Amino acid sequence: MKTIKASEAMINVLLDWGVKRVYGLPGDSIDTTIDALHHYSEEIEFIQVRHEEVASLAATSEAKLTGHIGVCLSIGGPGAIHLLNGLYDAKMDHVPLLALVGQVNSTLINSDFFQEVNTASLLEDVAVYNKEIQSAESLPKIVDEAIRTAMRQKGVAVLTIPDDFPDQKIPDIYKTLAGEANLFSPPALIPEKMEEAARLIKDSKHPVVLSGVGSKHASRALTTFIEKNHIPIIQTVPSKGIVADDHPNSLGNVGKLGTKPAYEAMKEADLLIMLGTNYPYVNYLPDQQSCKAIQVDLVPERFGKRFPLELAVESTVEDFLTSLNELGELRSSTEFLSACQEAMKHWNKWMEEQRQNTEDQFVHPAYLFNAIESLATPDTIYSIDVGTSTAWAAKFLRVQPQQDFLISSWLGTMGCALPGALAAKLNYPNRQVLSVAGDGGFAMVMQDFVTAVKYNLPFVQFIVNNQKLSFIEVEQQSSGQRNYGIDLADIDFAKAAEAFGGNGYTVKSASELDAILPRLMGVTKPTIVNVYVEDDAPLPGKIVKDEAEGFAKFTVQSVLKDHKFPELPPLKEIIRQLF
């Protein structure tokens, strides 16, 4: 009987599942797996990063962009611990990820050997599939099973692999059960439920669609549905662009990163249509006593978790909307939509005023994001970090259906933008990638800018530089706390870019930003643009009661303890967002 190394059998499973690259760092307890990747380097690309956190965040970003399994690896012990942040991002944003984690040789397990960590216990909470390999013969089967589970449950599969097993010879007999066709079939729509959904929509006077990432493959059907039935749409931030942000029915996002018209529409709604979303901020949803709700999702456990339901439909969003669209126009009234559109006109006028703000000494963030949008091509991939970068991007980037918008949504981990840009450019080398991070978030992972240089990944990395953790600044203020621990020492990121082998620019005014924009079209090297921005607070679209009380408490605390009035956003902007 023909035999092969267990590591080769494992690589064959990865190939059957369409894996094109693995992100990670080599090391002693994963070296036999690395050796197998070396032998298969023409089929699977190994992307060497400088920190395992970047490996797991990049693999997670790849899964978010492609829908396919992302793969990362590390040694056991410290390497596995470094992977955790990206693994939790995959868990909480529900994307399939496989982590191959090394372990000491099987004969040394439980001997308190160098770098020996109980990896299975360490990673138990993050994983939907978590096993330690017990024999060389089981390796290909368990890798296949792990990927299938991660794909089916949209989560993290972790395999801990003692380093002696992959090098052992096993019979070459394992056949994979690869492919999405073997994972699941979407449930069939129940005619009675579709009739009830149609009735609820027909009877509604103030319907609102709240759409999430579950609508990703339903852009056309969703656009048709809201247009045909004259319904305003609110999209969660990670789903920006599934319906064009500047579509006439769009009210933007809702919540702390949302718009005032979206907040107001929610409070007026008598029917909430939740499509592929588990939106957690229930205070921004409609009044439960006066609003009915339809929820469409493939995960029944999410039904009614955030809002009491009139109707739950287990289905893909695309199937549900396609079926409804076949019924024709369900409601003809445009009164509510027109009122929402009028509110959006005022909002957009205000946003446009901020987009053209050139009065300050530094670049206003709104002006920066307007410039970033002006660079974008029809299929740009935006990779956005956590903090004020997310807040400004949510307000000022008008994302389109052919573009992608990458963020760390539920975990909200700083440092996600650069790994996302790496994954975006590796998977889509012909698409433009524009990455944005604050000086705090970028500094957490900046060593891996050299990874972009090493693999010749030309993209633009903007740094929103205000020498502070400004999102935390606003959080402290809105909670009534004085600011503490938020100031950052300045870094010359442009010089750092050049030291890494890329291009670097420093920008301190709107005119300087305008002058370099032509050079940022079609860059041929990884490029950092270090933009010193005005320290302007990214206020929520609607300041709710608790936040208003917090800002007032912060002001009083500052006067009593610091003997001065604090710097706050202009009063006219606060008033606009209060009333």
Q: What is the CATH number of the domain that holds 217?
A: 3.40.50.1220
Same domain, 166 and 253: no
**pLDDT one-digit tens code per residue, 84-138:** 999 999 999 999 999 999 986 666 566 676 666 788 888 999 999 999 999 999 9
What is the rounded CA–CA span in Å between residue 504 and residue 493? 7
- By three-state DSSP, how is residue 293 classified? strand
- By three-state DSSP, how is residue 288 classified? coil
At residue 387, the pLDDT reads: 87
Decide which of 280, 311, 343 is a domain's last residue: 343
Q: Is 388 exposed, middle or buried (0-12, 13-18, 19+ CB in 10 A)?
A: buried
In a domain, 544, yes or no: no
Same domain, 339 and 361: no
Q: Are 215 and 279 in contact (CB under 8 A)?
A: no
In a domain, 203, yes or no: yes
In a domain, 412, yes or no: yes
Q: How far is CA 140 from CA 13, 98, 349, 445, in A?
A: 6, 14, 58, 33
Q: How far is CA 539 from CA 205, 395, 474, 477, in A?
A: 31, 10, 8, 11
Closest among 162, 150, 189, 175 to 60, alpha carbons compared? 150
Same domain, 200 and 296: yes
In a domain, 557, yes or no: no
Maximum Cα–Cα distance across the chain: 84
In a domain, 143, yes or no: yes
Radius of gyration of the chain (CA): 25
- By three-state DSSP, how is residue 171 classified? strand
Same domain, 318 and 393: no
Same domain, 150 and 249: no
Same domain, 151 and 10: yes
Residue 531 β-bridge partners = 464, 507
Report residue 53 as tokens: 């956190």
What is the rounded CA–CA span in Å between residue 514 and residue 230? 39
In a domain, 214, yes or no: yes
Closest among 256, 259, 491, 478 to 387, alpha carbons compared? 256
Same domain, 140 and 224: no
Report residue 211 as tokens: 């759409």
Q: Which residues contact 197 (CB under 8 A, 6 or more apart)?
A: 294, 311, 313, 320, 324
What is the rounded CA–CA span in Å between residue 332 and residue 202? 9
Same domain, 102 and 243: no
Q: How far is CA 329 from CA 225, 278, 390, in A?
A: 9, 27, 36
Report residue 96 as tokens: 């399939």
Closest among 67, 78, 63 to 23, alpha carbons compared? 63
Which string of b and e fits 101-134 if b means at least 16 CB within 10 Å?
A: bbbbebebeeeeeebbbebbebbeebbbbbbbbe
- By three-state DSSP, how is residue 506 classified? strand
pTM score: 0.89
User: What's the length of the chain?
Assistant: 579
Same domain, 111 and 10: yes
Decide which of 171, 200, 223 is a domain's last residue: 171
Residue type, 117: V
Same domain, 499 and 409: yes
Report residue 400 as tokens: 């389109």
Report residue 517 as tokens: 């924009």
Same domain, 16 and 164: yes
pLDDT < 50: residue spans in the chain = 551, 559, 563, 565, 571, 575
In a domain, 451, yes or no: yes
Its domain, for residue 227, covers 191-343
**pLDDT one-digit tens code per residue, 274-300:** 999 999 989 999 999 999 999 999 998
Q: Are 100 and 71 in contact (CB under 8 A)?
A: yes
Beta-carbon neighbour count of residue 461 at 10 Å? 27
Q: What is the CATH number of the domain that holds 96?
A: 3.40.50.970
Q: What is the DSSP letter of 455?
A: T
Q: Structural domain tally of the chain? A: 3
In a domain, 350, yes or no: no
Same domain, 332 and 390: no
Q: Are 270 and 254 in contact (CB under 8 A)?
A: no
